[in-house]
Amino acid sequence: MYGQGIGREIYDRQVKSGDPRSPKWGLSGFYAAVLEGGRIRPRDPIILIGEPT
C-alpha cells in the first residue's frame, strides 16, 4: 500500500489496466531510507515526505 502522493506519481489508468505503454509503467520500484528504527507490518503505509529530485 502506497501513500496518496506516491500512488499518484507511479500509477495512472493505463498502469492500473495492465498496459505497458503507459509512461508510468515500471515506476513502482523506488529507493528508501530508514529515518527511525522500528517494526514494519504488512499494510503499513509508505509515505512520500519529500519531492523526488
pLDDT bracket for residue 22 (50, 70, 90): confident
Neighbouring CB atoms inside 10 A of 22's CB total 16
Please report the pLDDT score of residue 3 as a whole number. Answer: 66
Q: Grid coordinates in use for 15?
A: 498502469
For a pLDDT cut of 90, what percent of the chain falls above it?
8
Mean pLDDT of 33-51: 82
CA 16 to chain centroid, in Å, comes to: 13
Q: Report the pLDDT value the prediction gives residue 51, as an integer from 0 to 100.
A: 64
pLDDT at 2: 65
Assign 41 a pLDDT band (cuts: 50, 70, 90).
very high
CA Rg, the chain, in Å?
A: 13
The answer to whether 16 and 7 are in contact (CB under 8 A) is no
Decide: pTM greater than 0.75: no
Domain around 33: 1-53
Total structural domains in the chain?
1
